[in-house]
Structure 1
Amino acid sequence: MDSLPKILVIGDPKGLVPEATWADFSSKYEVHLYDFATLDDFHQSMSGEGSCHNIIAIVRLGLNIPPGIEKVGQGWTKRGLPYFPPSLRLVVNFGHGYDEEDVPALEARGITFANTTGGTESTATLGTFLIISSLRNLSRYERMVRAGQFLPALRDSAKNAVDPFSKKLGIFGMGAIGQAVARQTAALGMEIHCLDRKSLKEKNIGNSLPPLVLHPSLGDMVANVDCVILTCSYTPETHHVFSHDVFSKMRPGTRVVNIARGKCIDDDALCDAIEKGNVGGVGLDVHDNEPYVNPRLLNYDCVTLLPHVGGLTHDSMSNHAVMALQAAQNYFSKLV
């Protein structure tokens, strides 16, 4: 009888993957659960006669590494690339982003890379919250209540807060998360704007979306909306794409929300736009130099700051883990 394909699984499936799903997966592969104290130990295990010298896949289920073990973290495939054995054919990474991983180098080695999208709805929901928070100035009023300024907060809200209903929302990035944001915010009565992309028509996703107002350029879109949310991938083209030039095209008081990647916004340009009045409210779940936050942003009461928790719920973690296992099974079923 042929031996089962050997797969290294990073992350504990308990509490994330249904027992029946894990039992089925474990019956088809020789599963090794990641238990290396350090990254050096992990890397050495894939060389010579190490325990992982003949693995065919690495599947990362999540962030749940046992206590006392060094975290794998973003960029782990880039760090591990020199040590990956010739037998390795597939890497399934946890999460939506892959900008820290060296996908071209993996593919050049004949290693297929996949990621998971289990946090789509949770990230979109947090984005919708930040849109509401930035329009209604909720972060400011929470601070005022904590400082004993209950009545002044009421008066400020009556004068300066605005409703999402009937407002124009620009979505920069119409992938899965952007589409989910479009559906959620349309239910609030917002008018949805986005860039006119060929992919919108090719994927025929318009049938599942609310009506869209299309724009030829980012500058044109931001000049015509009340709020803009970033839901794009991070690439060289989107690095600091929200710059002084883009902020200068916004109407006074425009709200800005980012649930994409922090490096898509030039922080200092954003702070300047707040001080000039072009931007009237901000919601950030991501930051340019995480886990550090630009100290200028801490000084504004119109800014809601969160620690990149958009896709981090127990439900989304479970979704990611199940998707990761399914991605591996889909890949190897095609080889049979």
Structure 2
Amino acid sequence: MSKKHKVLVIGNPDGLVEPDRWGKFVTQYDVTLYDFKSQDEFHESLKSGPCSEISGIVRLGLRTPPAAAKVGQGWTRLAMNHFPSTLRVIVNFGHGFEEEDIEGLNSRGIKFYNSCGGSESTATIGTYLTIAAFRNLSRYERMLRSGQFLPALRESLNSAMDVQNKHVGIIGMGAIGQALAMQVAALGMHIHAVDRPSLRAMIEDPTKWPGQPEIQVHATIDLLIPQVDCIVLTCPYSTETHHLLSRERFRNMKKGVRIVNIARGKCIDEEALCEAIDEGIVGGVGLDVYENEPRISAKLLEKQDFVTLLPHVGGLTVDAMAKHAQICLDKMDKYLSQGE
């Protein structure tokens, strides 16, 4: 009988994983649940304790033990020098991985995956923020709450715009971008995107993206920007996408353009965004992510008539958390069972 792979699980499966699925997982692998009182204790365990022979690490959710480094805080960087030689795969809960030491993991031969359980939920927030940016919904809610019901009606008549037949540029056609494209196309919006080999492959072979909407493809983002009424960022963060929307690019946009960001805050130069609002270039904004979150720019907070702000809740629903956890276990299963 072959020896079971040892897997460290960071996070509580209760309420995230169906009991039958969890029972199968703990039967298939020699599972250790993260129960360390400090980071130092965890790191010592990786070198000479119960985690010194693990094959995999899987993070199951955001409800991690108090002593565990959180997602987005570079926990793999902190542990890199302590990982055992037996470690082959890490499955990280969530969409982002820019804080993790991917280069260091690759040099050690450790495969790194993330999960995409919140794609639909995040896309839905993107659709909501797009509608809010065109219709000024946050502004009218504030007016209603301050007793200005009838003034809000008059304001809406003079400034709100429909999304139907508007042109939207979606920057990033991964799982979230694809889900968003389907949603806003159903609202009657025209989809634009930047040409990429992966997107081209999906367009040329519809079986790779069933039901895909019609997409107008542009060679570069600079050619796309002047053609659209709204730009939605759904791209990963990297050195290439840092301040992707810059002062220069704002100046090349249509007057009154709407800006929505459900990607990463640092993809937008927020100082330049505020300037573009003041100059009348940007007519509405919807943000779920921020350049220096959880701190929010005071200038953005002041622009209540133009900006809808959410606290990075895009993929945070009960349903999405369960999808993330299921994906995490499935990825670990697939990797270890294939013997790669």
Find the aligned partners of 2:211 and 2:80 in 1 and give their Cα distance: 40
Shift of 1:84: 0.7
Shift of 1:2: 4.7
Tell me which residue corresponds to 2:44.
Answer: 44
Find the aligned partners of 1:14 and 1:187 in 2 and give their Cα distance: 36
Tell me which residue corresponds to 2:273.
Answer: 270
Q: Which amino acid aligns with 1:8?
A: L
**Percent identity for Structure 1 against Structure 2:** 52
Superposed CA deviations along residues 177-224 of structure 1, whole A, max 9, x for unmatched, are 111111000100111111122221224346531111122221221211
How is 1:133-172 mapped onto 2 (pairs within 5 angstroms)?
133-172=132-171
Find the aligned partners of 2:117 and 2:209 in 1 and give their Cα distance: 22
Q: Which amino acid aligns with 2:333?
A: Q
Find the aligned partners of 2:219 and 2:64 in 1 and give their Cα distance: 45
SS at match of 1:213: strand
Shift of 1:245: 0.8
SS at match of 1:223: helix
How many residues are matched?
334
Residue 319 (1) aligns with residue 323 (2): yes
Find the aligned partners of 2:132 and 2:44 in 1 and give their Cα distance: 48
Residue 247 (1) aligns with residue 250 (2): yes
Do 1:175 and 1:232's aligned partners in 2 also have CA atoms closer than 8 Å?
yes
Q: Which amino acid aligns with 1:73?
A: V
SS at match of 1:257: strand
The one of 273, 292, 296 equivalent to 1:293 is 296
Tell me which residue corresponds to 2:20.
Answer: 20
Q: Which amino acid aligns with 1:221?
A: L
Residue 282 (1) aligns with residue 285 (2): yes
Do 1:9 and 1:59's aligned partners in 2 also have CA atoms closer than 8 Å?
yes
The one of 296, 304, 317 equivalent to 2:308 is 304
The one of 70, 73, 84 equivalent to 1:72 is 70
Find the aligned partners of 1:241 and 1:115 in 2 and give their Cα distance: 23
TM-score, normalised relative to structure 1? 0.96
Find the aligned partners of 1:218 and 1:174 in 2 and give their Cα distance: 13
Superposed CA deviations along residues 73-125 of structure 1, whole A, max 9, x for unmatched, are 32111111111111111100011111111111101101111111101100000
Find the aligned partners of 1:206 and 1:52 in 2 and give their Cα distance: 41
Residue 30 (1) aligns with residue 30 (2): yes
Structure 1: where are the runs of 5+ without partners? none
Shift of 1:172: 0.6
Q: Which amino acid aligns with 1:77?
A: T
Find the aligned partners of 1:270 and 1:97 in 2 and give their Cα distance: 23
Find the aligned partners of 1:330 and 1:190 in 2 and give their Cα distance: 38
Find the aligned partners of 1:36 and 1:274 in 2 and give their Cα distance: 49
Residue 5 (1) aligns with residue 11 (2): no
Do 1:39 and 1:72's aligned partners in 2 also have CA atoms closer than 8 Å?
no
Superposed CA deviations along residues 242-284 of structure 1, whole A, max 9, x for unmatched, are 0001110111110000000001000101010010011011000
How is 1:187-198 mapped onto 2 (pairs within 5 angstroms)?
187-198=186-197
Find the aligned partners of 1:260 and 1:209 in 2 and give their Cα distance: 21
26 and 70 in structure 1: CA distance in 2 versus 1, 3 angstrom threshold: closer
SS at match of 1:270: helix
TM-score, normalised relative to structure 2? 0.95
Q: Which amino acid aligns with 2:177?
A: G
The alignment's C-alpha RMSD in Å is 1.4
Find the aligned partners of 2:284 and 2:222 in 1 and give their Cα distance: 19
Structure 2: where are the runs of 5+ without partners? none
